[in-house]
Structure 1
Amino acid sequence: MEKQKLPHAKSSLIFGIVSIVTACCCFGLPGLIFGIIGLNNSKKAMKIYNEDPSQFDGSGNANTGKITSIIGIVLGVIFVLQIIYALFSGSWEEQMEMYKELIEQAQ
């Protein structure tokens, strides 16, 4: 009997990876959103897997998706808090200059 692919496992991994990338490149908020979706999909996948582990294959993708989603959420929260701090402390222009310099160095 061939094992079935675990539902939601691959999508949790994809959302986790996208959450890390968008947390770093898009000022945090999209990374936070994608991370929460990825974490939710990982929980769904593991719930299905734990009901009958012998029937499904792909729990590694669900676990990796959980880890990458958590990393994306943490990065997203850090960037969002940094933006909120910059807005309320009046250092928004300094923050924007720092981002411009980082982008120029990366190119």
Structure 2
Amino acid sequence: MEQQKLPNSTLILIFGIVSIVLCCCYGVGVIFGIIALVMAGKATKVYKENPELYTGYKNVTTGKILSYIGIALGAVFLGYVIYMYATYGIEGMQQMNEERMRELGF
């Protein structure tokens, strides 16, 4: 019997990459990472039932790893942002940004 590509294997890999790229976008990367992990769980279950029928399982495992990394980086960034707002407040953050913009000549 001819092997077929595992459903959503490429999409899982893409979502894993996007979760890392967007990890500093206030939680967007975390959302993509979680979606990729859910899809990877379903794809893994399908693959484990009949591994000889499917190709592309390496994309799923790579996507899972990238999703974990993206979620971790996103969580660290969100923690940093929460810490900064709790420490300096909104006004303090705005002042810091204005000072940086002046230093850069904007």
- TM tier, smaller: 0.7 to 0.9
Q: Deviations over 1:2-51 (max 9, x none)?
A: 21100121111111000000003x24x00110000011111111110000
Distance 1:47 1:74 in 2: 24
Contact 1:19 1:32 in 2 (8 A): yes
Contact 1:18 1:34 in 2 (8 A): yes
The aligned residue for residue 74 of structure 1 is 72
Q: 1:93 deviation in Å?
A: 2.2
Q: What SS does structure 2 have at the residue aligned with 1:90?
A: helix
The aligned residue for residue 9 of structure 1 is 9
Q: What SS does structure 2 have at the residue aligned with 1:23?
A: coil
The aligned residue for residue 56 of structure 2 is 58
Give the % identical residues: 47
Q: 1:53 deviation in Å?
A: 0.2
Q: CA RMSD in A?
A: 2.0
Contact 2:12 2:64 in 1 (8 A): yes
Deviant stretches of 4+, over 2 Å: 91-94
Q: What SS does structure 2 have at the residue aligned with 1:61?
A: helix
Q: TM-score, normalised by structure 2?
A: 0.82
Q: TM-score, normalised by structure 1?
A: 0.81
Query: How many residues get paired?
Result: 97
After TM superposition, list the pairs within 5 Å mapping 1:28-107 onto structure 2: 29-90=27-88, 93=93, 97=97
Distance 2:11 2:45 in 1: 15
